[in-house]
Structure 1
Amino acid sequence: MIKLVLRALLSLFYAYAGYAHLVRPEPFLAITPVWVPYPDAVIWWTGLAEIAGAVGLLQPFSRKLRQAAGVGLALYALCVWPANIHHFAMDMASESGGLGLVYHVPRMIAQPVLIWLALWTGEAIGQRPATSP
């Protein structure tokens, strides 16, 4: 039951984040490292990836699709981590100190938790192997 609730919450989180990427990309563009090519397209595609992952994670009919969505969202969270680190460094270097450590440290800690949560709720890890009779 806990896994189902966390799966639903994670799906809502990613669906909203994907929606935000599509309708208001400016904050995401602002934290995108300069070495990322075609940042507008990357932000758009990442929004679609988040929405697709959220839908795949929620569907009840195919465990393989849930697993693929969990792996996809975990890889996505891993791939956007450099943007979060860039935002942390850029923000903390600003004269005002930006959002501060109270925001950035939990966000850095949350990234591996999100990766694990996507894999676990997507049933890509933590499953007991089938036993033969």
Structure 2
Amino acid sequence: MSISRSTAGLAAIFAVSGTVHLARPEVYEPLMPSWVPAHREVILGSGVAELACAAGLLHPRTRSLAGWASAALLVGVFPGNVKMAQDSTRSRKTGLKVAAFARLPLQAPMIRAAVRAAREG
């Protein structure tokens, strides 16, 4: 079974993001809501989860499970994206504000792609 373009794209996004989570976790620390414990550990764990989802999406035998896991992961990190958008309003950097707010509506098509991958697997 071949892989759809949206599934391959989602796998690529997770692979890049997961790598950054592990290589430069400090990038994500300001995004963490205060109610989340053990920020560094959660960041590293989410990086591992993203890499696992990326790998799982690429193989037909694991695509369904990885698709559902990817959707859950995207829902789980959404509060961090909201916090990043809120925090960006205090910045003078227009590019940061645009990127932070642009991420929010992008979650919906990514979740749709994850669900589609789960169903095609």
For the pair 1:108 / 2:97, whether they are aligned, the reply is no
Alignment-derived partner of residue 11 in structure 2: 11
Alignment-derived partner of residue 72 in structure 1: 69
SS in 2 for 1:123: helix
Instruction: Measure, in 1, the Cα distance between the counterparts of 2:59 and 2:2.
Output: 17
1:1-133 superposed matches below 5 A: 4-60=4-60, 62=61, 65-94=62-91, 96=92, 99-100=96-97, 102-123=98-119
Instruction: Measure, in 1, the Cα distance between the counterparts of 2:81 and 2:100.
Output: 9
Amino acid at match of 1:10: L
TM-score (norm 1): 0.81
Greater helix fraction, Structure 1 or Structure 2: 2
Count of aligned positions = 120
**Stretch moving more, 40-49 or 8-17:** 8-17
CA contact (8 A) 1:50 1:73 kept: yes
Instruction: Measure, in 1, the Cα distance between the counterparts of 2:7 and 2:72.
Output: 16
Q: CA deviation at 1:97?
A: 5.3
Instruction: Measure, in 2, the Cα distance between the counterparts of 1:22 and 1:80.
Output: 16
CA contact (8 A) 1:7 1:122 kept: no
TM-score (norm 2): 0.89
SS in 2 for 1:9: helix
Where in structure 1 do 4 or more consecutive aligned residues deviate above 4 Å?
none
Q: CA deviation at 1:33?
A: 1.1
Runs of 5+ unmatched residues, structure 2: none
Q: Which has more radius of gyration?
A: 1
SS in 1 for 2:28: helix
Percent identity for Structure 1 against Structure 2: 32
Instruction: Measure, in 2, the Cα distance between the counterparts of 1:103 and 1:17.
Output: 15
- CA deviations on 1:27-84 (whole Å, 9 max, x unpaired) are 1112111111000100010000000011111113x2xx21110110101000100000
